[in-house]
A and B are shown apart, each in its own frame.
Chain A
Amino acid sequence: MGGVMLDRRHVVRELLQDREDAVVVTGLGSPTYDVAAVSPSERNYYLWGAMGGAAMMGFGLALAKPDLHVIVVTGDGEALMGMGALATIGAVKPANLAILVLDNEHYGETGMQQSHLGLGVDLCAVALACGLTQACRVTTEAELQSAARNFHQTGAPKFVQVKVDPEAPPRVMPTRDAVENKITFRRALGIS
């Protein structure tokens, strides 16, 4: 590929800095730490488990709150475990859902074993084939800036796979109390 690989925290910052009142669901592991580090909010739901469930959780939220922009931030390993979700979501095409996959081609939480995305599997092509017609792959700063301009526009589901540096930044750990997170999140949306 050549060039400097994108830093994952920089990517998350660029894509979430204009989030306004958008809600965010994070996939377990580094994406949870990344969002906690650069875009903390009561409108974040941080997964520390349920691997493979982040996109579906965002999808359920998108159906429940059609007027809100729902953003899923997850990793390549987590997305691969729930790959069928791309078919389920593609069949409905929720206009207010965006999925960001931070693809470091490794399973960072378990010792940096190589993932399928470093072994020739093309997840962006899978998303496209599942009907997420705006799916794109980002490898450069220019492509990141282009993706950021479209990321918050609703009308069709977004899928952005960003190749990031496998270097892991310091962990920033949000709450692991899933009940507390649920109550805080719902309260922030005005749901009792």
Chain B
Amino acid sequence: MNVIDWQQAVYDVIKSSGISLVGYVPDAGHATLINCARDDKEIHDVVMTTEEEGIPLCAGAWLGGMRSILLMQSSGVGNCVNMLSLQRTARFPMVIIVTMRGEYAEFNPWQIPMGSTTQAVLELCNFKVERVDDETSAAETVQAAIDFAYNSNVGVAVLLSQKMLGRKKWVE
């Protein structure tokens, strides 16, 4: 399964689960999902200046009965910390798909501090965390996260491992 295939499978799950809003900060690992959302007239795609905007975006959408999902890189999780209190205090359903950096063949040491603490930070903020290391389980895991969040009013994050995403090409 190549990158396009499993990301397309994840997008199909997002669509079939009734998600109508995709908030994101641009990210290479999420490029296919972002392009799918942008090309889809049934989806509101919202590009944000910082990941923390996504937490109240999703909360507001849910107040209006709309399901949403957030796409971000591990570095962006740190930007969300105080805003995640909104999810916890009000028990808003929330799903975040996180592309991991700083953990496998990382070229840029600046990615390591946040990448190495992403899962712990999310768990400290009361999010349930599922990690995907195998591309064949990506779509199923995202489906489970959406079901969990919207059936049980919890926050769920799916971490896509850097090893699965593949090495970033720094020099052509």
**CB within 8 Å of B: which residues of A?**
23, 25, 45, 47, 49-54, 56-65, 68, 82, 84-85, 87-88, 91-92, 178-179, 181-182, 185-186, 189, 191
- Is the beta-carbon distance between A85 and B53 smaller than 8 angstroms? yes
Main secondary structure of the interface of A (DSSP, over half): helix
Given contacts A50-B83, A84-B49, contact A60 B65 (CB under 8 A): no
B59-75 vs A, CB cutoff 8 Å, 1 = contact: the mask equals: 11111111010000000
Given known contacts A45-B63, A64-B63, A178-B90, A50 and B46 CB-to-CB distance under 8 angstroms:
no
A50-B86, A91-B47 known; 7 other A-B pairs, CB under 8 Å? A23-B63, A47-B86, A50-B82, A53-B59, A60-B61, A60-B66, A68-B64
- Known: A60-B68, A88-B47. Is A186-B86 also a contact (CB below 8 A)? no
Interface residues on B, range: 20 to 34
* Interface: B137 (CB within 8 A): no
- The 8 A-B residue pairs whose C-beta atoms are closest, nearest first, are A60-B60, A64-B64, A84-B49, A53-B56, A64-B66, A178-B90, A57-B60, A57-B56
Q: Are A63 and B66 in contact (CB under 8 A)?
A: yes
Q: Is the CB of A182 within 8 A of B64?
A: no
A82 & B53 in contact (Cβ 8 Å cutoff) = yes
Q: How many A-B residue pairs have CB under 8 A?
A: 114
For B48, give the chain A residue with the smallest CB separation.
A88
| Interface contact A84-B60, CB-CB below 8 Å | no
> Would you call B63 and A87 a contact (CB within 8 A)?
no
Interface contact B66-A49, CB-CB below 8 Å: no
In the bound complex, CA of A51 to CA of B82 (Å):
8
Please, which residues of chain B bring their CB within 8 A of the CB of A178? 86, 89-91
A-B contact pairs, 13 of them (CB 8 A): A50-B85, A52-B52, A56-B60, A59-B57, A60-B56, A61-B60, A63-B64, A64-B21, A65-B65, A68-B64, A88-B53, A92-B46, A191-B65
Interface centre among A45, A52, A64, A191 (most CB of B within 10 A): A64
A61 x B47 contact (CB < 8 A): no
Once the chains bind, are A61 and B64 in contact (CB under 8 Å)? Answer: yes
Q: Are B44 and A63 interface neighbours, CB within 8 A?
A: yes
Q: Which chain A residue lies CB-closest to B49?
A: A84
A51 nearest CB neighbor, chain B only? B82
Contact B86 A49 (CB under 8 A): yes
With a cutoff of 8 Å between Cβ atoms, the chain B residues found around residue A181 in the complex are: 90
Considering the complex, which residues of chain B in the window 126-155 have a beta carbon less than 8 Å from any beta carbon of chain A? none
B17 contacts the other chain (CB 8 A): no
Partner pick for B63 among A51, A54, A56, A182, CB 8 A cutoff: A182
**How near does chain A come to B26, taking the closest CB pair, in angstroms?**
13
Q: Is there a chain A Cβ closer than 8 Å to B114's Cβ?
A: no
